[in-house]
Amino acid sequence: MRPLLAVDDLAVEFPTDDGVVRAVDGVSLRVGRGEILGVVGESGSGKSVTAMSVLGLVRPPGRVTRGSVRFDGEELLTLPARRLRRIRGGRIAMIFQDPMTALNPVVPVGVQIAEAVRLHQPRLGRAAVRARVLELLASVGVADPARRYGRHPHEYSGGMLQRAMIAMAVANRPDLLIADEPTTALDVTVQAQVLGLLDTARRETGAAAVLITHDLGVVAELADRVAVMYAGRVVEHGDVHQVFTTPRHPYTRGLLAGRPAPATAPGDLTPIQGSPPDLLAPPPGCAFEPRCALGAGRTVCRTSRPERVAAAGGHVSACHLREEPV
């Protein structure tokens, strides 16, 4: 069946005074209808830039230099801005890490959600729009929505604001939700509530989701499939259970080994040594080679880019020394 979202060989560059940053360099992803794809990887691996490209939100001088982003079969990268705007906030909605960046600080939260509703349902009357906003706010657990309707973003707590953002995102029953670190800025106790709510809202609307996170536990719990990013590329992609139980890429193995397990003492963690490469001058071979337990120093890893290879069940990995499942 045709995937809802198909990203192929996407590349995004940012020209800077020091040279060109190759932030995303050949990313391919698939998201099926109603499915949750978790996207993980260290800071700077290109997760946010990939998400922004899907919605045409990469700001100049950053630019998409190659690739394709098809949503429900339609190419988004060449879509006129006006049509893309109609898809954004409609069939595709985004939730950012910091709601304050997405909201207007001088407009009451309820009014902003009402604007989102009206944008895609212009024939709805004033009272019906307001009723819909109150219903949305109540559905995400915002207490006393009638009173909160007129409050400004700074009068909301971080958790409440992220709830309101979820309400706004699902207002038009999107087919795809893109959530970029939606709970990172929140207290740990609120994080779980907001994630649970996001999942409920998603299930109620039947939306698929791309969930960008640092938290492998969240991916294990919520996602159906996972894409592991490293230095602007997807190094492993597949069913969550399969990838987490039988990782094929040494980077994924390293991430999983470095993951704090409840029963693990801090000293038992084995974080991956070293740091990601400079994206101004990425290495010619495998970007993970200098840090790789298996490939460091090997000629093939230093000199040639590993191709993506698919194994059984659509489990894709890009490694010259790909490990067979154990």
What residues line the site for ligand ATP (CB under 6 A)?
14, 16, 21, 23, 41, 43-49, 62, 279
Nearer to ligand ATP, 10 or 140 (CB): 10
* Cα 110 off chain centre by: 26
- Within 32-79, strands assigned E span 36-40, 63-71, 74-75
- Nearer to ligand ATP (CB atom), residue 46 or residue 238: 46
- CA of 269: how far to CAs of 119, 133, 150, 246, 272, in Å? 49, 46, 47, 19, 10
* 71: phi then psi, degrees, rounded to nearest 5: -115, 120
**Environment class of 221 (CB within 10 Å of its CB; exposed 0-12, middle 13-18, buried 19+):** middle
The distance of closest approach from Cβ of residue 208 to ligand ATP in the complex, given in angstroms and rounded to an integer, is: 20
The encoded tokens of residue 116 equal 């989102």
Query: How near is the Cβ of 146 to ligand ATP at its closest, in Å?
Result: 36
Q: Which helix (H) or strand (E) holds 240?
A: helix 240-245
CB closer to ligand ATP out of 61 and 150:
61
Closest approach, Cβ 178 to ligand ATP, in A, equals: 12
Q: Following CA atoms 276, 279, 280, 282 in sequence, which dihedral angle do they give, to the nearest 10 degrees?
A: 80
Closer to ligand ATP by CB, 52 or 208: give it.
52
Whole-number Å distance between alpha carbons of 14 and 67: 16
Q: What is the DSSP string of 186-235?
A: S-HHHHHHHHHHHHHHHHHHT-EEEEE-S-HHHHHHH-SEEEEEETTEEE
Closer residue to ligand ATP, CB minimum distance, 117 or 195: 195
Q: How far apart are CA 33 and CA 174, in angstroms?
A: 11
Minimum Å gap between C-beta 97 and ligand ATP is 7
CA trace torsion 113, 118, 121, 122 (10° rounding): 180
Residue 164 or 287: the one with the smaller Cβ distance to ligand ATP is: 287
Nearer to ligand ATP, 44 or 145 (CB): 44
Question: Pairing state of beta strands 233-239 and 316-317?
Answer: antiparallel
Residue 61 CB, shortest distance to ligand ATP, in Å, is 8
Using CA atoms, how far apart are residues 73 and 324, in angstroms rounded to an integer? 34
Contact between 140 and 166 (Cβ < 8 Å): yes
Q: How far is the CB of 277 from ligand ATP (least distance, A)?
A: 10
* In the complex, minimum distance from the CB of residue 212 to ligand ATP, in angstroms, rounded to a whole number: 7
Q: Which is nearer to ligand ATP, 48 or 252 (CB)?
A: 48
Q: Which is nearer to ligand ATP, 21 or 197 (CB)?
A: 21
Instruction: Show Cβ contacts of residue 129 under 8 Å, excluding neighbours closer than 6 positions.
Output: 114, 117, 118, 121
